[in-house]
Structure 1
Amino acid sequence: MNQSGNGVAFIGSGSATPQVTLSNETLSQIVETSDEWIRTRTGIQRRRLVTPDRTMTDLAIAAAQSALDMANLAATELDLIILATSTADDLFGSASLIQAQIGASRAVAFDLTAACSGFVFGLVTASQFIRTGAYRNVLLIGADVLSRWVDWGDRSSCVLFGDGAGAVVMQATDESDRLLGFELRSDGSMNACLRLAYQGESRTLMDGVTITQGTYGPITMNGKEVYRFAVQRVPEVIEKALFRANMTSAQIDWLLLHQANQRILDAVAQRLNIDSAKVLSNLANYGNTSAASIPLALDEAVRSGKVKPGDAIAASGFGAGLTWGAAIFQWG
């Protein structure tokens, strides 16, 4: 798929999570639920929550610096920073603040919003800048703080989400292109299945001039429809990406899915005939961290030595929009 002679390499990863842990047992004191109910339906045992004195930007910066350290790259060498998030600290965007805080004075920075698909969409976007020769060093961050927007009285949704950040450093290479294939999809007709919508009230400024002012949220979700969508569409989009990479599922070393629900992870792996031992999952410890979930799981697998240089990874994000996508890449 590389047309320009500029290949894409993945040279560093990092992650960051808040210190506060909310277990299923503790959550059952807040809303009517139980550890067994949550674990059997989702696979989640605990999640991390940002405290009022911390922000999404704080997590993103920590993950970014960790990824830069692994890549042995100075922030001043970065050309581009992409922040995949749906929960920016500033509605105008948070990427530029991250750029300033880490000292990436040469880098252009922008936010990208595709909810739980954001990291995969960001990965594909970053690769295009590299392949055209526009930029050489790119920092891609996935970070979300969904605890701000959860209805903590809705047990069908509040049990799912946690806060976190993950990052990867992508670099142009003259060697073989490590991004082997991808496929991205959207279906706005299913938007109502998972939303964090604007909620406003009318305000009359003067006769003939009426506006709305308000805020967002909380998250609303049709869990059954989202589950049905994921187990059907995610295997399809991975197969499309594998086709573009001229590969089969048997050639994949690791399946790295958005960490939404363990039953989804299991169902997708089964449909693709991928052994459960090849499925990367840290869902039990962090819950659904939206755009952070894929890079967070990747970083843990890399640092533990599970994922090694040259390993082929099939990554897929899916969620609100509805959006979904897959990327086949080799680590390192």
Structure 2
Amino acid sequence: MVRSAIEAVGAYLPAREVTTAELLSRLDLDAPPDLERASGVRARRVRGDAEDSFTIALAAALGALDNSRYDAADLDVIISCSITRTRGEDFCFEPSFALMLRTALGATRAVHFDVSNACAGMLTGVLLLDSMIRSGAARRGMVVSGECITPIADTAVREISQKYDPQFASLTVGDAGAAVVLDGTEGPGIDYVELNTSAAFAQLCLGMPSDQGPGVALYTDNRAMHNESRYLLWTSRQREFLAARGSSFADEGYDYVIHHQFSGPAVELIDKIAEREFGAPVPPGLAVLDKYGNTASTSHFVVLHDALRQGRITPGSKVLMVPAASGVVAGFLSVTIGELRV
């Protein structure tokens, strides 16, 4: 049976680094909280003056094609998954980012569309492209995202005035781009990808224009967002899914897990809950949170690219990706990695 496989991965990180200590020093607070200790984010990358969501996405897409055996003209589909869609100072809805990327890349044959699903955007794009390849509607395609999301940190620095503020999570984000090329295979590849949305939690993390002044802002109720009931959305669904397949978490034999990069301590708690719920050890985690922060929809594939570049993932490794997105979106993606060049 034909399934999709990750044929190539690309990522782009802006050159400029800003530390958490530097951000906190700009706050108008006498004793700001120890955000680095609370989040695990030591630094993040921030766009240059000439960079925006589009240029960052394009750089990641070009990187993926450099690592691929395909040319842009070979792609049947391009799916853009950016939360932020800036070109210069403008936020673009039309034409679609996917169309603009198709034109810039020269992928003239490709069907193109945008998907928006918060920080689960790229996993949503992979779910759709995987389905298109399995059904025979496409042979190969690209899922890409460019996130220029640090303007919410700029707003937070200007507006935070108390030690517990709904904008504190904004100080953990970083700019990045990622792209992945999928093609069809009869061998190892994407085993399954499942996403589910629980709208009861939707109000806990909202991006919108600032309610205090100019600029965009992110408002997160961290105390309500990060608790066991929310984390069980992943474990309960995956346990049911695997049981229906006659399998278990231990039976799947995952070599690595990649969580959404949002909080080191929270991920540690999630893994403890997962070990209790699955009755099995959670595999070693791969992460870049400390040096790149939360890069929104790109985070899983920024981690994957970084691990491949460092030689931490070898061909045949089975990787579990676990999203955590506003909406609230949970789920899981299982993929066996083939020979990938980075």
TM-score by length of 2: 0.84
Distance in 2 (alpha carbons) for counterparts of 1:166 and 1:34: 36
Q: Residue type matched to 2:274 in 1?
A: L
Distance in 2 (alpha carbons) for counterparts of 1:223 and 1:61: 33
1:193 aligned to 2:222? no
Aligned-partner SS, 2:180: strand
Q: Residue type matched to 2:144 in 1?
A: I
Deviation at 1:36, TM superposition (A): 7.7
Equivalent residue number for residue 41 of structure 2:
44
Q: In structure 2, which of residues 4, 17, 28 is the aligned counterpart of residue 8 of structure 1?
A: 4
Equivalent residue number for residue 208 of structure 1:
none
Note the aligned Cα RMSD (angstroms).
Answer: 2.5
Unaligned stretches of 5+ residues in structure 1: 201-213
Q: In structure 2, which of residues 181, 184, 190 is the aligned counterpart of residue 179 of structure 1?
A: 190
Unaligned stretches of 5+ residues in structure 2: 87-91, 161-166
Q: Residue type matched to 2:293 in 1?
A: G
- Note if contact 1:9-1:178 (Cα within 8 Å) is conserved in structure 2: yes
Distance in 2 (alpha carbons) for counterparts of 1:283 and 1:245: 33
Deviation at 1:314, TM superposition (A): 0.8
Equivalent residue number for residue 302 of structure 1:
308
Aligned-partner SS, 2:226: helix
Q: In structure 1, which of residues 93, 98, 121 is the aligned counterpart of residue 101 of structure 2?
A: 98
Aligned-partner SS, 2:45: strand
Aligned-partner SS, 1:224: helix
Equivalent residue number for residue 126 of structure 1:
129
- Sort the Cα spacing of 1:239 and 1:144 in 2 relative to 1 into closer, same or farther, 3 A: farther
Equivalent residue number for residue 328 of structure 1:
334
Aligned-partner SS, 2:194: strand
Distance in 2 (alpha carbons) for counterparts of 1:35 and 1:14: 36
Distance in 2 (alpha carbons) for counterparts of 1:102 and 1:139: 11
Equivalent residue number for residue 163 of structure 2:
none
Equivalent residue number for residue 78 of structure 1:
75
1:26 aligned to 2:22? yes
Deviates more, 1:11-20 or 1:235-244: 235-244
Give CA deviations for 1:131-184 in whole Å, capped at 9, x if unaligned.
Answer: 1101111111133221123432336123211111111110012x2352212321
Q: Residue type matched to 1:225 in 2?
A: A
Deviates more, 1:76-85 or 1:146-155: 146-155
Distance in 1 (alpha carbons) for counterparts of 2:320 and 2:32: 31
Aligned-partner SS, 2:120: helix
Deviation at 1:198, TM superposition (A): 5.6
1:66 aligned to 2:51? no
Q: Residue type matched to 1:44 in 2?
A: V
Deviation at 1:325, TM superposition (A): 2.0
Aligned-partner SS, 2:25: coil
Give CA deviations for 1:62-116 in whole Å, capped at 9, x if unaligned.
Answer: 1111112222211110111111111112123311111111111111221111111
Deviation at 1:189, TM superposition (A): 2.7
Distance in 2 (alpha carbons) for counterparts of 1:278 and 1:53: 38
Deviation at 1:6, TM superposition (A): 2.2
More strand by percentage:
1
- Sort the Cα spacing of 1:182 and 1:193 in 2 relative to 1 into closer, same or farther, 3 A: same
- Sort the Cα spacing of 1:15 and 1:237 in 2 relative to 1 into closer, same or farther, 3 A: farther
- Residues 113-262 of structure 1 correspond to what in structure 2 (within 5 A)? 113-150=116-153, 151-153=155-157, 154=160, 156-173=168-185, 175-176=186-187, 178-197=189-208, 217-228=216-227, 230-240=230-240, 242-243=242-243, 247-250=247-250, 251-262=253-264
Q: In structure 2, which of residues 263, 266, 287 is the aligned counterpart of residue 264 of structure 1?
A: 266
Q: In structure 2, which of residues 272, 295, 310 is the aligned counterpart of residue 289 of structure 1?
A: 295
Distance in 2 (alpha carbons) for counterparts of 1:33 and 1:138: 51
Distance in 2 (alpha carbons) for counterparts of 1:108 and 1:302: 29
- Sort the Cα spacing of 1:127 and 1:82 in 2 relative to 1 into closer, same or farther, 3 A: same
Deviates more, 1:270-279 or 1:217-226: 270-279
Distance in 1 (alpha carbons) for counterparts of 2:304 and 2:53: 19
Aligned-partner SS, 1:27: helix
Identity over aligned pairs, percent: 22
Aligned-partner SS, 2:67: helix
Aligned length: 314
